[in-house]
């Protein structure tokens, strides 16, 4: 028995888009194999080596390889609801400008209806969404990324509410490419793109932009955060949520293989967390997704053994290269034999002498999370997991120390609100440019970020046992330009100090920006990092940070009266502490 609102919406869309056929997706394996066969026949997919059963390559259009942030809009009733960090389009303008692009857009194609559950099935914190799409590639990805099909129809019921996502490839023209979000009606329109975050509407569009508005209205947080369980050799377990901009090592941290024995990591989620205040006054988190949409370049058995183990079968690779034996390849995976020619992400012959990249720098893999050895029972726990610490981080070559701790919740919100990171290939535009990215949510917050900061503060007021908040930076470089920290599995040493701080045992000393570990407090055994190099890793240069606060003041001023006064006070206090320290 189908939901009445869903049936009416499907009819409305079908009447407008004029598909040749309509298919309700049930999430079955037979359905998946049927779609794969169709895409193999028309060239949408390329079958890979038999060493990777049921695994395929997809090549997207060369103009459609990353998030189109400049073409992504929040269609709130008023522009001030959208805020200065989002692109705004009124619902009326979208009706006149974008809706007509869907007229007849599905002629010659099949309209797929994909119901899905975000979060563990049956959890009170889960939500149902339905995506209509004319891309079987999108359907195949949603099968891996969500709990998709009949299970969602059952959870939705006859009268349940759901997020409506409408997607069409259109003609893939950048001039007719739009991703529009309507927070008031919980609706998403996407046309002209087949790339992941623009076309997989369950992900950033639903789970962050729409969900962040739902969370604001209902008192919970939808965040661009991974979640891991960290267990000490003594069996003490803490869960940590961490926010990093895309392509800054978040997936590697989520699937961390510790560099020394006794410590264990459980992967709960690698990208998105929905967090609620529990009856016990703690913050609890679920992972709304069921799969990983990871960045392929630099992923290897050295950097992320668990991710590589997950990529053993049933994987969709997008815009990677392919070796002669049908195995996928990308920069950072493994060295190629001298002279070997591979097929690059555009489908052309490539060798090391070509001078460009074989795999696109934002090439991806999509795989079920259940194939990752580090995923444990917490992944499907309908209650979620209690969060002991929140970590913010990004790429900063010079300024930010390896790790520091905020003084309290309000200071931690300020640390997250003033997060700055250098841009990566996950979005279109120049690379390596510092930009403010509050809580790593700049491209994903569905409403005014001034109100978003205030929402964080309100959530904190309800927490009797709030998580401690930290900032990390794996990417600090020395005067010689080389990375000072080895990263990857060695990051367990930073997590160890963080959970020791939570337990009240880790030592730290104060700086104007927060608390940094002492040399003796950080477990550096067998790492070859002496006191001098460690000081360089955690050094806080007060004069450089004064410039940073000036940069951040310009950013915060954009929110005008919507900037919460507690954050303005935190900013003034930091400026005063830096000024005082610079005089010493």
Q: Judge whether 535 and 397 are in contact, CB under 8 Å.
A: no
Residue 246's pLDDT is what? 75
Provide the annotated binding site for Mn(2+).
204, 224, 271
- In tens, the pLDDT along 401-421 reads 999 999 999 999 999 999 999
* C-alpha gyration radius of the chain: 23
Provide the annotated binding site for GTP.
247-252, 364, 395, 488-491
In terms of Cβ atoms closer than 10 Å to its own Cβ (0-12, 13-18, 19+), residue 583 is exposed
Q: Is the pLDDT of residue 308 over 70?
A: yes
SS3 374: coil
Q: Judge whether 251 and 295 are in contact, CB under 8 Å.
A: yes
Question: Of 368, 393, 417, which residue sits at a domain end?
Answer: 368
Q: Is the pLDDT of residue 25 over 90?
A: yes
Q: Is the pLDDT of residue 427 over 70?
A: no
SS3 557: helix
- In tens, the pLDDT along 215-237 reads 999 999 999 999 999 999 999 99
**Residue listed under structure tokens 């087949």:** 194
* Residue 281 DSSP label: S
- In tens, the pLDDT along 475-531 reads 999 988 899 999 999 999 999 999 999 999 999 999 999 999 999 999 999 999 999
Question: Of 219, 239, 255, which residue sits at a domain end?
Answer: 219
Closest-CA residue to 389 (of 322, 318, 467): 467
Closest-CA residue to 56 (of 328, 272, 300): 328
C-alpha span between 478 and 485 (Å, rounded): 10
Q: Is the pLDDT of residue 426 over 60?
A: no
Structure token digits, residue 383: 């209650």
Q: Number of helices (H) and strands (E), helices first, in the chain?
A: 16, 31
* Residue 134 DSSP label: S
Domain enclosing residue 556, as ranges: 222-292+376-583
The β-bridge partners of 21 are 110
Q: Is residue 297 part of a domain?
A: no
* Active-site hit among 75, 248, 372, 445: 248
Question: Of 184, 203, 219, which residue sits at a domain end?
Answer: 219
Residues 344, 428, single domain; the answer is: no
**Residue listed under structure tokens 């996950």:** 426
Please, where are the H alpha helices in 54-127?
Answer: 79-82, 91-97
Report the predicted TM-score, pTM, of the whole model to 2 decimal places. 0.96
The β-bridge partners of 189 are 166, 180
Residues 211, 262, single domain; the answer is: no
**Residue listed under structure tokens 């103009």:** 63
Q: What is the CATH number of the domain that holds 125?
A: 3.40.449.10
Residues 402, 326, single domain; the answer is: no
Tell me the residue length of the chain.
584
Structure token digits, residue 157: 């019921």
Provide the annotated binding site for substrate.
67, 246, 362-364
Q: Judge whether 173 and 154 are in contact, CB under 8 Å.
A: no
Residues 133, 211, single domain; the answer is: yes
pLDDT more than 70, % of the chain:
98
Residues 16, 29, single domain; the answer is: yes
Q: Is the pLDDT of residue 425 over 70?
A: no
Residues 206, 329, single domain; the answer is: no
Number of structural domains (the chain) is 3
pLDDT band at 261 (very low <50, low <70, confident <90, very high): confident
C-alpha span between 47 and 53 (Å, rounded): 9
* H or E element that contains 578: helix 565-583
Angle between helices 29-42 and 136-145 (to 10 degrees): 140
Residues 442, 535, single domain; the answer is: yes
291's CB contacts (< 8 A; 6+ apart) are 144, 145, 146, 366, 367, 368, 369
Pairing status of strand 420-422 against strand 434-436: antiparallel
C-alpha span between 218 and 221 (Å, rounded): 9
C-alpha span between 305 and 328 (Å, rounded): 16
The yes-or-no answer on residue 248 being catalytic is yes
Q: How far apart are the first and last CA of the chain?
A: 73
Q: Is residue 288 part of a domain?
A: yes
C-alpha span between 174 and 60 (Å, rounded): 13
Q: What is the CATH number of the domain that holds 351?
A: 2.170.8.10
Provide the annotated binding site.
67, 204, 224, 246-252, 271, 362-364, 395, 488-491
Longest dimension (CA), the chain: 74
Structure token digits, residue 483: 């990375």
C-alpha span between 59 and 523 (Å, rounded): 44
């Amino acid at each position: 028995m189908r939901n009445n609102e869903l049936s009416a919406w499907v009819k409305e869309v079908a009447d407008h888009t004029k598909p040749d056929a309509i298919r309700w997706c049930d999430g079955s394996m037979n359905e998946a194999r049927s779609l794969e066969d169709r895409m193999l026949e028309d060239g949408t997919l390329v079958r890979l080596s038999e060493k990777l059963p049921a695994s395929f390559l997809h090549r997207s259009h060369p103009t459609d390889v990353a998030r189109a942030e400049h073409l992504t809009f929040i269609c709130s009733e008023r522009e001030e609801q959208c805020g200065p960090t989002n692109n705004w389009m009124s619902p009326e303008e979208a009706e006149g400008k974008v809706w007509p692009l869907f007229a007849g857009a599905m002629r010659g194609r099949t309209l797929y209806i994909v119901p899905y559950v975000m979060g563990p099935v049956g959890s009170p914190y889960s939500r149902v969404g339905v995506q209509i799409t004319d891309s079987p590639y999108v359907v195949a990805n949603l099968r891996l990324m969500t709990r998709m099909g009949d299970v969602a129809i059952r959870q939705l019921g006859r009268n349940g509410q759901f997020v409506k996502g409408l997607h069409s490839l259109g003609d893939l023209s950048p001039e007719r490419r739009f991703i529009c979000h309507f927070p008031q009606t919980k609706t998403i329109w996407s046309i002209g793109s087949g790339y992941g975050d623009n076309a997989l509407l369950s992900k950033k569009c639903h789970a962050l932009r729409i969900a962040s508005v739902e969370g604001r209205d209902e008192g919970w947080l939808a965040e661009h955060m991974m979640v891991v369980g960290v267990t000490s050799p003594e069996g003490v377990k803490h869960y940590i949520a961490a926010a990093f901009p895309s392509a800054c090592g978040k997936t590697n941290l989520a699937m961390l293989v510790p560099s020394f024995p006794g410590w264990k990591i459980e992967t709960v989620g690698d990208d998105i967390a929905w967090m609620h205040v529990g009856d016990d006054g703690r913050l609890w988190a679920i992972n709304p997704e069921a799969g990983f949409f990871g960045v392929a370049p630099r992923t290897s058995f050295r950097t992320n053994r668990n991710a590589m183990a997950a990529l053993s079968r049933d994987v969709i690779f997008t815009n990677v290269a392919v070796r002669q034996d049908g195995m996928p390849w990308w920069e950072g995976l493994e060295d190629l034999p001298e002279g070997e020619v591979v097929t690059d992400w555009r489908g052309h012959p490539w060798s090391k002498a070509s001078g460009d990249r074989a795999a696109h720098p934002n090439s991806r893999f999509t795989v079920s999370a259940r194939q990752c050895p580090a995923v444990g029972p917490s992944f499907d726990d309908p209650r979620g997991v209690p969060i002991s610490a929140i970590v913010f981080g990004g790429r900063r070559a010079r300024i930010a120390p390896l790790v520091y701790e905020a003084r309290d919740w309000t200071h931690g919100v300020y640390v997250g609100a003033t997060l700055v990171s250098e841009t990566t290939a996950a979005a279109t535009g120049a690379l390596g440019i510092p930009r403010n990215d509050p809580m790593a949510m700049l491209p994903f917050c569905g409403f005014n970020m001034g109100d978003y900061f205030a929402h964080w503060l309100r959530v904190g007021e309800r927490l009797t046992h709030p998580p401690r908040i930290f900032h990390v930076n794996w990417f600090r470089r020395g005067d010689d330009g080389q990375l000072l920290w080895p990263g990857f599995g060695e990051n367990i040493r930073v997590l160890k100090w963080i959970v020791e701080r939570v337990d009240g045992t880790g030592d730290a000393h104060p700086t104007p920006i927060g608390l940094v570990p002492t040399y003796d407090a950080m477990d550096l055994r067998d790492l070859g990092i002496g006191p001098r190099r460690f000081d360089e890793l955690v050094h806080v240069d007060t004069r450089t940070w004064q410039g940073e606060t000036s940069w951040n003041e310009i950013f915060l001023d954009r929110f005008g009266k919507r900037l919460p006064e507690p954050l303005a006070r935190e900013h003034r206090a930091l400026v005063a502490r830096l000024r005082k320290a610079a005089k010493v």
